[in-house]
Chain A
């Protein structure tokens, strides 16, 4: 842990995959353009050169078959990493994800194990419009049988990706497109971060901000701004959304008595709603204000930068949410 070597979020992902492929010959990757080209976001760069075409497979544009490949290969003993280039494309593969991968074990009375990881890239901010910018994690978290991971920084990326690959259940690793270039110290050795364990990014006493993926970083900026106004924010990054580290969130809520949940996804029916609901069930008597939710408006992601910049929540909208919650007596 002592070395200060830095990796980007994309490189941290790559290193996790590479180290797990070295450690376990049953790990392989399959996806569109991930071979010679290294993936459209460069996250698979160099892996085919290192491990060969047998273990890093360029697939046709066939999302259903890509996930199906993972289901079939995992249930027969391999440990697949299957990539869906953009998160929006989970919709094309939804039967294999929701009706097959998530449910085989249960439907077979336990007689199936699916150690597979679906990797994909979510989030907006690139003017990529309504079919290449979505944050659809709530759809996945609603499905019993899946685990869902959304790292906010390079360190978490590497540790969580390693845990995803080692996990014996179907797991969805959602990279955020806008974080791919984020650089930070990452240990060289392989390490895991347990799925379902959140992280207190910043301790504080006045108010809790629960935020994940890119919003965790926006929350850090918001907290700096708010500190100057004398508001001491505690930031919790759940890191894994399914299973959710409810204990960590509840403990913090009991301590600060005020909570803002920030997500990039459409606000209605999102993770924020689930988290707010858990808090009111488990910490109602401790609350000094209703739990506030920051999220996107109820519309598809607009293309024009003039609209998208207003659409996606940011440090400003999180800070405003915190101020509103603090104003409650």
Chain B
């Protein structure tokens, strides 16, 4: 497939937005300005961007604990995201959810998730509703390699196929679940080998190549939209930072060389080189884009820092749709 230069810039922009947001979040966390856990998406930008670039605004996605990238790629607002990470009342979840539960249902982003594997069944539900209403919307379940070892994932994949739902299973295989390498927890190398067992097609793509991811996503999303049922994409990728936070905490579980080799394949820089080589863009174009988006991030940090914390009376608000319940 050939993609227009506008599409290429669109995919690039999504990736840079994720990178800048995550780098900023990482810096704030290291300065102890962000409470709680922070699972950064740096290194994996091509996956969320390539997939979400194939979706319409009213399509749905479910996410993981590593969810900022998915929300940014779906069009998430920096200000409300940064405020949420700081636990402020102006955040996406009014400070109640934080990094691990960041969500924007108006963008079809049905939440980051603190429970590994829990997003996939929810994507199946969204796909069911989409088929039920018949408006041609598609759902995408983003999930990690490690999450395919949990029952919820298997049940979701099987049900999606049994009910022939409009869904794409998008695997981010970064070769680790927390601090344990994939080969300690699975006897197969490629997650996509599982797809056949559920009765859906699957492809492996280079998850550091946004065009490769996008191509596979366009095909899978079209299949789902046309009534062709579920399919799986396995993107081979890598997270550049630690499982949570930035620095390696505790014991070393992967070698510096391994990290360095993957960093050479940085999905953004390699794509920029390619766009320049192909005469689609100039270095100056990219400088402008980074500068513009950096300003957005700086504004978001300012916005978040200036925002108030929620007040304690908010603790019991939003437990139910209306204010009833026990106490």
Instruction: Please provide the chain A residues from 112 to 147 with a CB less than 8 Å away from any CB of chain B in the complex.
Output: 126-132
| B316 proximal to A (CB < 8 A) | yes
Is there contact, CB below 8 Å, between B95 and A304? yes
Contact digits for B154-183, partner A, Cβ 8 Å, 1 yes 0 no? 000000000000000000000001111000
Residue count of chain A within 8 Å CB distance of chain B: 41
Contact digits for A299-329, partner B, Cβ 8 Å, 1 yes 0 no? 1101111110011000000000000000000
Q: Known contacts A37-B253, A298-B316, A303-B36; is A131 also within 8 Å of B185 by CB?
A: no
Is there contact, CB below 8 Å, between A311 and B315? yes
Is there contact, CB below 8 Å, between B327 and A307? no
Is there contact, CB below 8 Å, between A306 and B95? yes
Residue of A nearest to B309 (CB): A306
Q: Which of A54-62, A192-200, A218-226, A235-243 lines the interface with chain B?
A: A54-62
Q: Which residues of B lie under 8 Å from residue A40 when comparing CB positions?
A: 178-179
Q: Known contacts A61-B116, A64-B151, A131-B114; is A303 also within 8 Å of B97 by CB?
A: yes
| B236 proximal to A (CB < 8 A) | no
Contact digits for B286-327, partner A, Cβ 8 Å, 1 yes 0 no? 000000000000000000000001111011100100000111
Q: Which residues of A lie under 8 Å from residue B116 when comparing CB positions?
A: 61
For residue B269, give the distance in angstroms from its CB to the closest CB of chain A: 31
Q: Which residues of B lie under 8 Å from residue A299 when comparing CB positions?
A: 315-316, 319
Is there contact, CB below 8 Å, between A310 and B115? no
Cα A146 to Cα B184 with chains together (Å) = 31
Residue count of chain B within 8 Å CB distance of chain A: 44
Residue of A nearest to B312 (CB): A310
Contact digits for B182-202, partner A, Cβ 8 Å, 1 yes 0 no? 001110000000000000000
Is there contact, CB below 8 Å, between A127 and B98? yes
Q: Which residues of B lie under 8 Å from residue A311 when comparing CB positions?
A: 315
Cα A38 to Cα B250 with chains together (Å) = 9
Q: Which residues of A lie under 8 Å from residue B309 when comparing CB positions?
A: 304-307
Is there contact, CB below 8 Å, between A302 and B95? yes
Is there contact, CB below 8 Å, between A32 and B315? no
Q: Known contacts A61-B149, A130-B114, A297-B327; is A304 also within 8 Å of B251 by CB?
A: no
